[in-house]
Each structure stands twice: as structure tokens, then as C-alpha cells.
Structure 1
């Protein structure tokens, strides 16, 4: 570990959330700790022809969130989510007017980019798919922006007045962790003092639903949409598609202390691995995720016994929950059996690239409030899964450190360790 990394510590001083349920960090946390689910039958289009017809949709009104008619017309739903979440994070941090623009950067994560607008515009230019040679004259004037996820970065940079490092991380379902850790490293390396970072995805569209139907990754439990997401349960049969965004203000610790900022948590360590094995397959022994966890703990200078809670990937697919449980046992050893583990996907679904950012937010809030969110819908434990998955009800507990993990198509495995802001290294 370099001396630069030793000296420069990074804390979260602002959080903003758009998630299924009501918009905002406070409603998000209240829903999680109440164990309520936001999953239901898809309402944004007619999903009846599809195998899976359930999703966790955001109750989001862009006009009510203060977006102008011009912004609403020009921006994809993914950008609207990102902007509203980043605005809340900036307001929460109280950092406006206290940063050097050239030392402030923006990194945005996404798995799918502007799926909904691209889906809609293709239908327009192809006359609902009737024309093989599409007519671009009928496309929206913002079509090029929809093609480039970096258009989100531009909007957040303008919002934050950031003129420093900027970019996009798109690594599938691990994007939400990977973008936060990349932003963290920019601060640790001295490239920035402040980073506005997070992830957004709004991809509940026919093309996305069709893609996951094709590989049978999503649940067909259409008759029970409110309880369709069942991580670690014996009856689990696929994930529930979601949408949302979570953004953060990250600061170098000294910078935050000098301005008297409140810190939710410190980003103590992180790591990523790839299994170089399969696009969708996972080894049953969880080796690659375990390797990422151990590397993240090493970077944080922590032992497995230091972890108080694991915010799980917990997608509710048969193979993921087995893979993840094996990885936790392999990396944490006997301490895995004493460590609470839960999946918030049971309540808000799987919002692809955004979900890990939402899980980082939940992890920081767990430290802040000393409450562990439950795994909802876990009524029938799977005998093959024998850890403490915090079923059904939230649990009060002193939590000083959280491990959050992610697994994505392509074999990507990521881990991040958050600790209380008062911890010394």
C-alpha cells in the first residue's frame, strides 16, 4: 500500500437516494427497516406477453421533484434519477460553495444507460418495428445523448460545479460498488479532494424484460408480486427487476474535518475480481468473491472478525445465493456463522448497475443508525444456506463495520468495506 493511500482517507459526507417507494434517503431507510416491499406488477407497459411480469418501480414524478419541462423532455429517466439523487447528496453534505472546482470530480455508474429512451425512440424511427430501414428524421433531437451514458456525467458535473476528474463506470451489476471505489481511489491518489459519485439505472422496459426472460434469470412468480423477491429462501426462483439511483459526496477526511462536515462512514477497503469462467455461471465454491473480500479486508487492515454485518448481493437466484454463502464462509471462516447477513433486494428488487450504490447507502445508514435491515420474504429457510440472514424483521445492533458485496454477469465480483467514521487505522 502506498504512502499516499496511507495518508488520504475517504469518508461519505452526503447521501441521496431514488429508490422503489418514495423518493429520498429518509423514506428509503424507513421502508428498509420496516421490512416493507416495493415490488409489484409492472405498470409502465403491458408486460402480459412476458414470462416475468413483476418489478420494483420507483414512485417518481419528475415535475414534483423540481425538474423543468425542458429537463423532463430532454433527459432519460436514468438521468432524472441521477440528478435528483446527486442533488440530495450535495444538499445533505452541505458542501456547496466550499470546494475548489478543479479539485472536485464526478463519476457515474450504470449498467444499461438510457435504455427506456432508446427503446422508445427505436419504436418511433422503425414505426413500431415495421421498417427494417429506420427513418432518423422521426428521432428525438436528444437521441445522441441517450446513446452516451456520459451525458449523465455532464449534468451532474454542471449541478456540482465540478471541473475535475469525470467519467463513467459500466461493469454490469457491480457498477454501483465499482464507481464508488474508483472515485475513492481518485481521492486517495490526490487527483481530487471531493467526488460526487453514484449509480443510476432505469431499465424496466420490454427489451430488458425480454433479455432476462431469455435466460430465465427473473422470477415468474407473477401471482405474488409483493413477495416475489425471496433471497436465501428455499422457494426462490429468480430476481425481481428494479430501478433507482444512489449518489454520494465523498471527501478526503481532512477536507471534511476542516469544514466541520458530518461523516456517515469511511470507505476503508475495496477490491474486485473476475472469474474468467462464464458470462452467467458461478462456481459453487465462491472462490472469486472470497478472493475479493479478503483483498478488501487486507486493504482496510482488518480481520474477518472485525466485520459486524454483511450487506449481501442476495439476488434470489438459485446459484447466486449458494455461491455467495460459500464465499462468505471461505473468506470469513467461522466468523461467517456469527455475522448477520441480509439482502435489501428482497424489498427493492435488483436495479442492475444502481443496486450496489443503493446497497452502499444502506450500509452507511446501518452504521449511522445501528439497525440492520432484514431479508424480507424469508419464510422457508433453504437447508443448504445456513448463515444468519436476518429474516423478516430489522435488528438493532451496534455496527461499526459493514462488508457489502456484488456479483455481476461476466464473472465480476466486487467487495467494499465501510467503517464508522471515528475508527482509527
Structure 2
């Protein structure tokens, strides 16, 4: 019996609002959540802007002990998990715990917890040898990225396969792909999939400043993230998380679940070329798209919408445009494409799952989110990038792609149930 993975629950913590509906409202309104950084003093940095989440652990339903124990990224994932499970309506208590699995992605793990603790242990960097006696009991958990997946597993009492996927900026897509494979092969009946990152800290800003990847447009933070625009000058950091409930499609139908979308195909490739560089022809991303479509048994001409990686760097946007043309041929000029990073920033490993959530909602509601801030199209990016305004559109097949440092390229095909 062929099994396919269906998305039956969605939970989102994103800049601009907590929860699935607040996220979707921001996207369809074409609003941006980018602003000057408030989580620390960014004065000394080249790029002083980000897309922050207005998040209070207590208001989000976490206990004082959970807030103390968890890094901000783990808090995001836990809140998303609760929303996704409630949205799905699945009674996890009726399942064998060994049949519940977890697949969570993250690019940088517990960055904020680690940096905060290092500052304490090193006396704000004054001591080369840190004093471990000042460390909190949960410091080891901050050092181990798999803590993020473990927190989700504990939240739902999952005793099946539990994994942390860390493949840079494709982590979110890859974690969903891994979870879908667990459903397809029959290893699990329900999988909590998604990704989380809370990277907004001085060390992260310093790293991206060093390679000049982030936008220095500090005087106009609201319009700094400009994918595919001729005046784009780098991406805007973000934070957030999304968790999805995956079930076998037929089982979900039998219990009368609402199915947002099914995951029809997934593939990933590497360019084996450069840590940050991309070849201009887009061959590796095009190959990931081709294989994902083949696995879904879907012709390129059937793609109705593309959710682009769309980071807002000149190199990435041109690379993607070439990949779409290479993979879809003439149809690339006919299909709407957009980047939600223009509104919620680039939350590194988390963004792939946040974008899958956006794709599932787009299929469910038949609306394409826009590319905000796209006023002056780059002539080399000559596709339909849905500038400024959301668009009602008949969709049955959606393609979401990701591109990450290290040369990772991933593609996922979602279909309307």
C-alpha cells in the first residue's frame, strides 16, 4: 500500500504575530515585520535590523520552569507544537507512543542561551578561562542541538524516531522531508515536523557582518528585505518556528481530518562548490526540483505557484531565477513566484518550515502571498514575482525551494488534497 504524508495541523511563531492566523494575515496583507534590533544593542554592527518575534513565554502558555530551562528556540518550537496538535485534532493518547515521531530542523541551535551563558562564565569576555561554577544547570542542553527535538518529543510523549536535522538554511525543508519519509515507509503514524531558530544575538550579527551578507539599510528597516528588487543589498535576519503534524493521508481521511496539503515529492542536492558561493546557472537547485517533481509524478507544467528561497542577495536571486527556468522551461514565465522573506526575514534553518506552512495555507485558501518591497524589478530576475499584493489564484500544486550555505539545495512539492 502506498502511503503519503498529509499536513493536518499547523503551528507558527513568526515575526509580526504569534499563531497560524496572525502569520497568514501578515503575509496576505503584504506587511513587513522588519525593524531595528531590540533584543540587544546593535549600535556597533554594520546591519542593525532584523525581523523579531514579539514573544513572551508566559503569555504563550509556558510555565516559569519551562521558560527558565528552554532556550528561546526551544520555546518557539514547543508553542508551535501545541498549536499544531490542537489544530490537527489528532488524539495522540490513542496512539502507541512508539508510532509518534519527531523531526525538527535548526541551523544554529541554542544560540541565544549559549551566548548569554558564555557572557556570564567569561565575565563579559574578560576571562579567557571561563568559570564553570557560574553555569546554569541547563548549559549542557544548550550545547546539544538535539535538545530542540527532545523538547518537542517530551511535549507530545513521542517515543518513535526523534531527530534534529541541521543543514543550514535548508534545515526546515529537510526536516519536513525526513518526517514525510517516516510516514511513507510506515515507520510512524504521526510525525511532528518543523524547524526553529532564534539566532538574533551579537555573535550571529558579527558573523554575517563579516561576510557582508545582511542588509545595511538601517534607516529604512521596513523596506530593507527586497528579494528580486534591483536595489536589494542583502538579506534581513529573522527568527521564528513552524511545526506541522504529518499523518498518513488515508488514515487522516478516515478520521475526518482537515488536510491542508499532501507532500508529494522531496529532493535535496549539494553543489560541492563553495561554502557561500552559488553557480549562476542554478543547475543543482534545478536538479533538486526535477527529482522532487519526478517523485511526485507531476509534470513541470502543472506547478501553480513557487515559494522561492528569495533571500534578497544578488547572487541567490539570480541563481534561483536561472534554476526555475532550467527546471520548468517556458512554464517558469507563467507561474507566480514569491518570497515571504520580504515580510518575515530570514530565520536561517527555521524559514524552510515556515515557508512550508505558508505553502500549505496558500493551497488551502487559494491565495498567493506577495513579495513585499518589490518596486524595481531586477532585469535579470524576469519572472512573475507577485509584487506587493497578494493574489487569488487557482492552485493544485505548489513548489517550495531552499538554498543554504554549504551548497545545499532542496525542493518540496505540495499538492492540494
SS of aligned partner of 1:82: helix
1:160-218 CA-to-partner distances (Å, cap 9, x unmatched) read 12111111100000000000000111111111111011100001000000000000000
Match of residue 350 from structure 2: 354
Q: Name the structure 1 match of 2:33.
A: 38
Q: Which residue in the other structure is 2:73 paired with? A: 78
- Give the whole-Å Cα distance in 2 for the aligned partners of 1:285 and 1:58: 35
Measure, in 2, the Cα distance between the counterparts of 1:167 and 1:336. 35
| 1:208 corresponds to which of 176, 186, 204 | 204
* Residues 254-269 of structure 1: pairs in structure 2 closer than 5 A: 254-269=250-265
Query: Bigger CA drift: 181-190 or 337-346?
Result: 181-190
2:414 is aligned, of 412, 415, 418, to: 418
Listed as ranges, the matches of 1:292-331 within 5 Å are 292-331=288-327
Which sits farther off after the overlay, 317-326 or 91-100?
91-100
Match of 1:47 among 31, 34, 42: 42
Aligned residue in 2 for 1:197 = 193
Tell me the equivalent position of 1:232. Answer: 228
Provide the rounded CA distance (Å) in 2 between the counterparts of 1:278 and 1:44. 32
What is the match of residue 175 of structure 1?
171
In structure 1, stretches of 5+ residues that fail to align are: none
Partner of 1:93: 88
CA deviation string 1:130-181 (max 9, x = no partner): 0011100001111001011212222211211211111110000000000000
Aligned pairs (5 A) from 1:117-132: 117-132=113-128
CA deviation string 1:222-267 (max 9, x = no partner) = 0000110000000000000000000000001122122111100000
**What does 1:1-16 correspond to in 2, within 5 Å?**
7-16=2-11
Instruction: Give 1:107 deviation, angstroms.
Output: 1.1
What corresponds to 1:383 in structure 2?
A: 379
d(CA) in 2 for partners of 1:257, 1:229 = 40
Report the CA distance between 1:397 and its aligned residue: 0.7
Report runs of 4+ in structure 1 exceeding 6 Å deviation.
none
Distance, in Å, in 1 between the alignment partners of 2:73 and 2:392 is 34
- 3-state secondary structure, aligned to 1:242: coil
Aligned residues: 416
Q: In angstroms, what is the RMSD of aligned CA positions?
A: 0.7
The counterpart of 1:365, out of the listed 347, 361, 366, is 361
For 1:405, what is the secondary structure of its paired residue?
strand
* Aligned-pair CA distance for 1:99: 2.3
Write the deviation string for residues 300-325 of structure 1: whole angstroms up to 9, x where unpaired. Answer: 00011110000000000010000000
CA apart distance, 1:98: 3.5
